[in-house]
Structure 1
Amino acid sequence: MSQQYESLTVEVNDHVAQVTLIGPGKGNAMGPAFWTEMPVAFGELDADPDVRAIVLTGSGRNFSYGLDLVAMGDTIGGAMSGEVSARPRVEFHGKLKRMQQSITAVADCRTPTIAAIHGWCIGGGVDLISAVDLRYASADAKFSVREVKLSIVADVGSLARLPYILSDGHLRELALTGKDIDAARAEKIGLVNDVYPDPEATLAAAHETAAEIAANSPLVVHGIKDVLDEQRTADVAASLRYVAAWNSAFLPSRDLNEGIAAMFAKRKPEFTGE
């Protein structure tokens, strides 16, 4: 790889790339660097003929805490603006579309991607793993589509892509409650393919599968992904456009302010529907 990144590292060995989230936010939270660098990194990997499979993982104790609310204050601030003017809504819509593209770059990559997940995978972390081809989890992994707890409709990929991974009832339960689920439950409902005893075994299993994929014809592997993705590409794109417009119009609310304030204060939010 020709570039150095702030939010991730990339290593390539024997036709397999490992992309490791490194923050810089706590728990590999997704700050400005992540949203800028992810499409660049995956675009470069997609164009590299030496890379035939990609393993995606997180550094430290967790996969990702999701959106870094502190570092992304400008973006969230625009959404929370109480101005009557349309400009803040238009600017937020543009920023949101660019953030969506950062996750879509992973989904659109012709090279198969396997996520090795350990620790927490929250919010944006679930958006990210919904864009990969295969998901392996460590027994300590925990998952949460937690945006509802902040009074946010998840808007960068999980609600668009999880319908092709989970049954409708399981998806609605996760999205409407914001509950946490463990790796065993994630495997039972089909969110992850397999569960391994610890992070090291999970990463090793992901690399083993990546090596199997890399041993196959790259042209045919790309073709398989293209054919499989064709069945859902238009629906996912339409869902992303719709939620971007919906959140640009309706996200600013007293409940959003309350949800974020409650999170930082580590208390239960009191929503009023305003």
Structure 2
Amino acid sequence: MSDTYSCFKVSVELGIAHIQLSRPDALNSMIPEFWRELPALVDRLDETGDVRVVVISSTGKHFSAGMDLSVFTEMAKRFKGEPARRAEKMRRSVLSLQDSFSSLERARMPVLVAIQGGAIGGAVDMISAADCRYCTKDAFFCIKETQIGMTADVGTLQRLPKLIPAGLVKELAFTGRNWHADEALAQGFVNQVFENEEAMLEGVMRIAKSIAMNSPMAVAGTKEMLNYARDHSVQESLNYMATWQSGMFQMPDIFEALEAQKEKRVPRYEAILSKGNSFD
């Protein structure tokens, strides 16, 4: 992709989009541009239909130090006016920040995150919205917001209890303590811990390639169903699955998968269609 971003480097190869946080000297803190660029970037990758997996990694010593001080400074400048109107504006601001990370869930393709060093504050909100998490053995996680006098508000407290035991979430949120790679692996927050960053990227890219070989329709449907099941009852999820299959269960990708297995070759699937305009 030719666009230039303030906070990210992006490359796309063989259906895998690699997004890198690219402000290592500032510990990849999340400046105002970050919150605008991330959802626009993810939505654009999703819109094309050509990208089958997204891998998000970082650069430098830490994955991300979370929300940059400049975001709080900007909010403080706007924190004025009649109380009700000020509160309504604040609500919209928080919803906008939340949407930046919800874009990872909204995307039709799986999002894999590779974490080195610290993932602090807003970084935990971000990676909790991903489909799969991987880290290096020196990685640690911290719900920092409590220690700076605020309640985490862009996804951690809503998503983390769906990923790990509620009692542990409460401890981590109430104390703001560091949560290290071995504990995160034991509790199922991360899928795998790697010796170093190089090994992690190699391993995560190998997983991404494996995903990209499957039918993009099957993978997109699987992500949709898993996210729906997380937030609904079993019966509601089964009903949605039946409705989904009534339109999405078609034979071309199944025949291609069977033919590829018989011929001992990599299957060739059509890309899912661009989202685009409904009249395009």
Task: Report the TM-score range of the alignment, normalised by the length of the smaller protein.
Answer: 0.7 to 0.9
Task: Single out whichever of 161-170 and 121-130 deviates more from structure 2.
Answer: 161-170
CA distance in 2, matches of 1:76, 1:26: 22
1:120 to 99, 118, 121: 118
1:185 is paired with a residue whose SS is helix
Displacement after TM superposition at 1:224 (Å): 0.1
Aligned match of 1:177: 175
Indicate yes or no: 2:157 matched with 1:152: no
Displacement after TM superposition at 1:119 (Å): 0.6
Indicate yes or no: 2:207 matched with 1:209: yes
Displacement after TM superposition at 1:211 (Å): 0.4
CA distance in 1, matches of 2:2, 2:225: 30
Unpaired runs of 5+ residues, structure 2, are: 234-280
Could you say if the C-alpha distance between residues 2 and 159 of structure 1 is closer, same or farther in structure 2, counting changes exceeding 3 Å?
Answer: same
Contact preservation (8 Å) 1:126, 1:145: yes
Matches within 5 A, 1:1-274: 1-23=1-23, 26-78=26-78, 85-232=83-230
Displacement after TM superposition at 1:182 (Å): 1.3
Displacement after TM superposition at 1:86 (Å): 2.5
Identical-pair percentage: 36
Q: Kindly tell me the number of residue pairs found equivalent between the two proteins.
A: 233
2:18 is paired with a residue whose SS is strand
Displacement after TM superposition at 1:9 (Å): 1.3
CA distance in 2, matches of 1:25, 1:40: 24
Contact preservation (8 Å) 1:18, 1:55: yes
CA distance in 1, matches of 2:230, 2:155: 13
1:166-221: CA deviations, max 9, x gaps?
11111111111100021111111221111000111111111110000000000000
Displacement after TM superposition at 1:231 (Å): 2.1
Task: Give the counterpart letter for 1:9 in structure 2.
Answer: K
Could you say if the C-alpha distance between residues 189 and 78 of structure 1 is closer, same or farther in structure 2, counting changes exceeding 3 Å?
Answer: farther
CA distance in 2, matches of 1:148, 1:127: 13
Contact preservation (8 Å) 2:25, 2:60: no
Contact preservation (8 Å) 1:148, 1:177: yes
Contact preservation (8 Å) 2:24, 2:62: no
Unpaired runs of 5+ residues, structure 1, are: 236-274
1:70 is paired with a residue whose SS is helix
Contact preservation (8 Å) 1:170, 1:189: no
TM-score when scaled to structure 1? Answer: 0.80
Could you say if the C-alpha distance between residues 201 and 24 of structure 1 is closer, same or farther in structure 2, counting changes exceeding 3 Å?
Answer: closer
CA RMSD of aligned residues (A): 1.8
1:80-131: CA deviations, max 9, x gaps?
x6x7632322221111111111010111111101100001100110001001
